Every structure is written in C-alpha cells, then in structure tokens.
C-alpha cells in the first residue's frame, strides 16, 4: 500500500468530472487500498479519487470512532428523498486544509453504489454518513465545499492557501 499526494484548492485538477468505473479488477482494489491508507494517514473520514488525481468514481470512508470500519463506494449516486429536512454541519476537507465551514445539505437521501465485486447496493443513510457521502460525491463532480460559501469567503481561503507554500 502507499500514501498518495492530495491535491489542494485551487488546483484546477480538482474541477475534473470523474468517469464511471467499468472494470472491477485488481487495480481497482489497489486504488481503494491506497486511498484508505492516504485517508487514515491524514486522519480524514472520507476521500474521493479526484483528490488523489485519479478521475474515476471511487470513494473511501471511515466514520467510526475506532477507525476500523473502512468502506468503499464505487459509482455512488444519491437521490434526495425530501428537501424538507436539512442538516447543517461544520465540514472540513483534506483539499482545503485548515478551514472548517458550516454547510447545509438535505439529510434524507437514497444512496446507490457498487462494491469492489460490482454488486449493486442501496441504503438510506443517516447522520454523518449522509453529510460525508454528499461531500465526496461533490468531489467526483469537480465541486468543492468552498463553492457553497460566498465569493468573499472563497477568495479569502484561496489567498490564504496560495500564500501557504
């Protein structure tokens, strides 16, 4: 396994729309192992392939306290069950390091995805998983947490991150 380099905002490669996975082979398993190692090494709760410059529809996640429940979502999609119930959460992003921002999202969704064998799965998640999966699917669409903020806030974050190096 190996730790991969994470792209940071405003790297234009984070704006790439990821392509669906068609081959459920060994190299897909290796990618998810490397992504999990990368996520754990950065203490993240999720990681989208886009963030490691692989433009395929692959997400890894572990929202457990003990950090021993790795999950893999291939070709994930969600449908909003109801827009009536919204949830505001202070989100962080490994591609926007050092910033936490409150973001409001629908919290009743139907989630569909495939596992590493290509089996189709479906669930109605709750709580943190609902927030995290929407955050990660945004990455696969080239969308970032900062896109939910005002232009002023986004520009401030961009300036600070540009000055960092």
Residues involved in catalysis? 136
Cα 72 to Cα 122: distance, rounded to the nearest angstrom: 13
Q: Out of 45, 58, 109, 111, name the contact with ligand GNR by CB under 6 A.
A: 45
Judged by beta carbon distances under 5 to 8 A according to partner kind, the member of Ni ion, ligand GNR, none in contact with residue 45 is: ligand GNR
The yes or no reply on residue 93 touching ligand GNR (CB under 6 A) is yes
The yes or no reply on residue 44 touching ligand GNR (CB under 6 A) is yes
Question: How far apart, in Å, are the Cα atoms of 82 and each of 43, 47, 79?
Answer: 32, 26, 9
User: Dihedral angle at the C-alpha atoms of 114, 90, 38, 164, nearest 10 degrees?
Assistant: 140
The yes or no reply on residue 46 touching ligand GNR (CB under 6 A) is yes
- Judged by CB under 6 A, the number of residues near ligand GNR is 17
Write down the least CB distance from residue 93 to Ni ion, Å: 3
Judged by beta carbon distances under 5 to 8 A according to partner kind, the member of ligand GNR, Ni ion, none in contact with residue 47 is: ligand GNR
Beta pairing class for 120-123 and 100-114:
antiparallel
Cα 161 to Cα 163: distance, rounded to the nearest angstrom: 5
Nearer to Ni ion, 74 or 93 (CB): 93
């Amino acid at each position: 396994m190996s730790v991969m380099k994470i792209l940071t905002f405003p790297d234009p490669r984070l704006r790439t729309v990821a392509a669906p996975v068609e081959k459920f082979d060994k190299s897909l398993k290796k990618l998810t192992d490397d992504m999990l190692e990368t996520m754990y090494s950065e203490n993240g709760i999720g990681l989208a392939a886009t963030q490691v410059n692989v433009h395929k529809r692959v997400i890894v996640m572990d929202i457990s306290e003990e950090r021993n429940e790795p999950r893999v979502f291939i070709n994930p999609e969600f449908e909003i069950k109801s827009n009536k119930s919204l949830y505001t959460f202070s989100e962080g992003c490994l591609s926007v390091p050092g910033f936490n921002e409150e973001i409001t999202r629908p919290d009743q969704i139907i989630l569909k995805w495939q596992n590493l064998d290509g089996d189709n799965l479906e669930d109605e998640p709750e709580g943190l998983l609902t927030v995290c999966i929407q955050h990660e699917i945004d990455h696969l669409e080239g969308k970032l947490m900062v896109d939910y903020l005002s232009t002023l806030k986004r520009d401030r974050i961009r300036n600070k991150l540009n000055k960092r190096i």
